[in-house]
Structure 1
Amino acid sequence: MSNWNPSSWRQHTALHQPVYPDQDALADVTAQLKQSPPLVFAEEVRSLRDDLGRVERGEGFLLQGGDCAESFAEFSEQNLRDTVKVILQMAVTLTYAGSCPVVKMGRVAGQFAKPRSSPVETRDGVSLPSYLGDSINGIDFTSASRTPDPQRMLRAYQQSVTSINLLRAMATGGFASLQNIRAWNLESVQATPLAQRYGAMTDQIHQALDFMHACGVPLEAFSSLQGTALYISHEALLLEFEEVMAREVDGCWYDLSGHCLWVGERTRQPGSAHLEFIRGVENPVGVKIGPTASVDDCLNLCQQLNPDNQSGKLLFICRMGVEQTQQVLPQLLGSVKQAGHKVVWVCDPMHGNTETASSGYKTRNFDRIMAELEAFFAAHREAGTYPGGLHLEMTGRYVTECTGGAYAIREEDLHHCYETQCDPRLNAGQALEIAYRAADELRRFRQR
């Protein structure tokens, strides 16, 4: 990496970046951030690398989930707590029903920027810059709101600090203890058929813990029962921010804005500034693999982002849609396997199934999401590779953004609680239902 440094991305084509009208203000903000403490620590990044290495070897499963785009306005301890609750519920479901340890990673504490299909939005003949996420501009359709403002990066940083503090307290302060499994129940899920199934599972887990306690096993001595590791991740889109959060530790560079970073389908082109940036950091890095990805694309990404072929370093997050997952993915899996590259293959069944309802709401159909998940596992069976994880846009709240699922949400129901800043998310009940299906698939896969 002798030819890499945190600013070498500036010599490459950088797509989906804001144009700041006040460059002096931008320089002032980036100088402040450069002097600010990191959001995570290099030791935590290395720990995640180790955990993902076990996933890559078929000894675990990755669960990655959270908001499409975090919001300043909707941030609260309760909203974050609800998201953590559903992640913990999903993880224990996958662990228990899928007989597999689960690495838990949130799309949180940094997921503030989003690429858009067009740089301009037009309403009633008025054109303004598109909303690019709260760390860049505002969602209100006014010139002042849509003008990129570097001060928003400072607010995103501060909200991330608060989020990480809350996450660490929940992960290690007793909230995530397996003995508190019943406390993770979300009221909104109680009205679904999943409640009975989840309740039966928690009863069985409690009976097992009571039996161990009765046999004299000191449960408090097992850290894995008393808490968990909750890693954070986000799309490394806003390069001005990522550059100043890169820190040198023991002679290596880490992007300490998060434990894991990924590059999207729109910014993974050969020679892109985003690939240039993430190739130089020690973090685990992901790349979204869409329906246009070729074998050569995947092999070149492996060589560029993981030239030493390290376990736990590179994730391919597949977002192809059902048909392409069935038709294209097996060939990609087989070619990467034959070349000997180490990759954690992750299923993102959300992005390839976005559609616009007749009412104008952007939505996703639950059955299509489930079908892509099943096709992902089938492709790995065909290729003889390991399905390593699940990546979901989801929330712990009861929202009506995706049709179908446990609540049988219809298109005419979307307006009831449609709150997303960008893309439609699974609500808690739908996310838990996905976890059960993934656990069933994973158990059958591991039994083979």
Structure 2
Amino acid sequence: MTELSASAPVSTPQPGAAEYPGLDAWRDLPVVQQPTWQDSKVYESSLAELSALPPLVFAGEVDVLRGRLAEAAEGRAFLLQGGDCAETFEGATADKISARVRTILQMAVVLTYGASLPVIKMGRMAGQFAKPRSSNDETRDGVTLPAYRGDMVNGFDFTPETRGHDASRLVRAYHTSASTLNLIRAFTQGGFADLRLVHHWNKGFTANPAHSRYESLAREIDRAVRFMDACGADFEALKRVEFFASHEALVLDYERALTRIDSRTGLPYDTSGHFLWIGERTRQIDGAHVDFLSRVRNPIGVKLGPTSTADDALRLIDKLDPEREPGRLTFITRMGAGNIREKLPPLVEKVTASGAKVLWVTDPMHGNTVTSPNGYKTRNFDDVIDEVRGFFEVHKGLGTFPGGMHMEMTGDDVAECLGGADPIDQEAFLDRYESVCDPRLNHMQSLEMAFLVAGALSKRS
């Protein structure tokens, strides 16, 4: 997924199901949010097929990312992670994937200028096909069926046939992820990511009168780009960018089947994605998800909500990062705008005092979900921004580094989150609400977020 340097180590994960001490210990532990597969033969054949398929990412790429995240943990880089709440098979089109990549690249240019730091670009893409749910079932008009758990598990349509848990979807998720990764590689290595082109797109954003307040920052970036050009900067090198893939490692059958042993190091890597995270609902210290991910070499994230304690964080560090390796562990906080300034400081203080080098990232989306008066699940842009501001304020007050943002966003012109400078109102939901799960920032709201955060980063530096 990355463009590796000539000196980067080459490694070849071995095909087939990886055999390594402890990789299957999770099967004997408490496990939550897992599908109930309806056909054992389909289940067994699907896992056998997955185990024999090539890796989606490679160990060398994963190691590069771990090094980049180590830089962020030391305050020398910033992580931008964004993409769909839940990818769908139907949505894996060239247009939608390119729009999402384009938006992340546009945001990254603005953040790079604001922070004066490298921005690590990472998509919630090529694997985000499963979602935890608060209830196993859903009832409509007196009919109860299994809840939609993402295209990897079942379908969104409310029918008995679609809502059954079908293990053949695991194989389809693999192939859809592979085609998504191929497109991302083409976009990020073939000129689509050219700095001058991306900046030109951002000039179009600020030309909108609703976004005129960001024009001065855009002009500063424009002067910087023109100065680089006049100085003979190697824009050929700036036509390509590193781009990493991530998803929540929720369905453990899928993750285990795609785990491979690296031929260079002899260690296990989950080759379903570069970066994997554990959700708020699955971070039990004695649970299956934490145990399994503690045994693979990928960089790992953990979502921490408002009920998280500093002791919870320290126990997770001991389990997932016992060697205290910078770049290994990222804490993604999702507190809510009303909680961030009160709940986050005790966690950061105690973790910092322990000497652990974790990367702190804000997820300002999940703690700010509400229901609109006309019945749609939504988020208010102002609440999202306020949580980001709170995140930066806490770290500034403690002298620690606010290392990144984790966003649910899309490159499309959807209407799912209320507000923004060019505001979305609830009436727009009737025609432009497309998410099958949680509401996402649209293209314009995402760019506005980047400009606002860039301003905060520039003041920090």
Tell me the TM-score normalized by structure 1: 0.94
* Structure 1 residue 265, shift from structure 2 partner: 0.2
Aligned to 2:3: none
Q: Is the 8 A contact 2:79 2:404 kept in 1?
A: yes
Distance 1:184 1:147 in 2: 43
**Structure 1 unmatched runs, 5+:** none
CA 1:189–1:411 in 2, change beyond 3 Å: closer, same or farther? farther
User: Is residue 71 from structure 1 mapped to residue 84 from structure 2 by the alignment?
Assistant: no
Letter in 2 for 1:173: G
Q: Is the 8 A contact 1:181 1:202 kept in 2?
A: no
Aligned to 2:227: 208
Distance 1:199 1:441 in 2: 15
* Structure 1 residue 200, shift from structure 2 partner: 3.0
Distance 2:203 2:431 in 1: 19
CA 1:422–1:188 in 2, change beyond 3 Å: closer, same or farther? farther
Distance 1:359 1:4 in 2: 53
Aligned with residue 256 of structure 1, among 271, 275, 283: 271
User: Is residue 362 from structure 1 mapped to residue 391 from structure 2 by the alignment?
Assistant: no
* Structure 1 residue 432, shift from structure 2 partner: 0.8
User: Is residue 420 from structure 1 mapped to residue 435 from structure 2 by the alignment?
Assistant: yes
Aligned with residue 138 of structure 2, among 115, 121, 127: 121
Aligned to 2:13: none
Larger deviation, residues 407-416 vs 267-276: 407-416
User: Is residue 379 from structure 1 mapped to residue 379 from structure 2 by the alignment?
Assistant: no
Aligned to 1:311: 326
Aligned to 1:26: 43
Aligned to 2:182: 165
Aligned to 1:399: 414
Q: Is the 8 A contact 2:210 2:422 kept in 1?
A: no
Aligned with residue 226 of structure 1, among 224, 235, 239: 239
Aligned to 1:153: 170
* Structure 1 residue 199, shift from structure 2 partner: 5.4
* Structure 1 residue 193, shift from structure 2 partner: 3.1
Q: Is the 8 A contact 2:113 2:221 kept in 1?
A: no
**Structure 2 unmatched runs, 5+:** 1-18
Aligned to 1:409: 424
Q: Is the 8 A contact 1:86 1:186 kept in 2?
A: no
Aligned to 2:98: 81
Letter in 2 for 1:339: S
Distance 1:86 1:121 in 2: 34
CA 1:178–1:348 in 2, change beyond 3 Å: closer, same or farther? same
* Structure 1 residue 5, shift from structure 2 partner: 3.0
Distance 2:400 2:278 in 1: 23
Distance 1:231 1:169 in 2: 13
Distance 1:349 1:151 in 2: 34
Aligned with residue 131 of structure 1, among 138, 144, 148: 148
Deviations 1:34-63 (A, max 9, x none): 000000010000000000000000001000
CA 1:283–1:192 in 2, change beyond 3 Å: closer, same or farther? farther
* Structure 1 residue 14, shift from structure 2 partner: 1.1
Aligned to 2:191: 174
SS of the aligned residue for 1:416 comes to helix
Distance 1:219 1:373 in 2: 33
SS of the aligned residue for 1:65 comes to strand
1:5-84 paired onto structure 2 within 5 Å: 5-84=22-101
Aligned with residue 260 of structure 2, among 236, 247, 252: 247
CA 1:424–1:188 in 2, change beyond 3 Å: closer, same or farther? farther
* Structure 1 residue 192, shift from structure 2 partner: 5.5
Distance 1:30 1:144 in 2: 21
1:283-302 paired onto structure 2 within 5 Å: 283-302=298-317
Distance 1:318 1:45 in 2: 23
Distance 1:186 1:415 in 2: 30
Q: Is the 8 A contact 1:69 1:421 kept in 2?
A: yes
Deviations 1:404-429 (A, max 9, x none): 01221122322220000100000011
Q: Is the 8 A contact 1:311 1:343 kept in 2?
A: yes
Number of aligned residues: 439
Q: Is the 8 A contact 2:33 2:133 kept in 1?
A: yes
Distance 1:387 1:316 in 2: 11
* Structure 1 residue 318, shift from structure 2 partner: 0.2
Aligned to 1:350: 365
CA 1:177–1:296 in 2, change beyond 3 Å: closer, same or farther? same
RMSD between aligned residues: 1.8
* Structure 1 residue 189, shift from structure 2 partner: 7.8
Distance 1:318 1:199 in 2: 30
Distance 2:257 2:125 in 1: 19
Tell me the TM-score normalized by structure 2: 0.92
SS of the aligned residue for 1:127 comes to strand
* Structure 1 residue 97, shift from structure 2 partner: 2.2
Distance 2:92 2:66 in 1: 29
Letter in 2 for 1:368: D
Larger deviation, residues 204-213 vs 171-180: 204-213
Percent identity for Structure 1 against Structure 2: 46
Letter in 2 for 1:79: K
Distance 2:430 2:271 in 1: 38
SS of the aligned residue for 1:323 comes to coil
User: Is residue 237 from structure 1 mapped to residue 250 from structure 2 by the alignment?
Assistant: yes
Aligned to 2:455: 440
Distance 1:231 1:101 in 2: 14
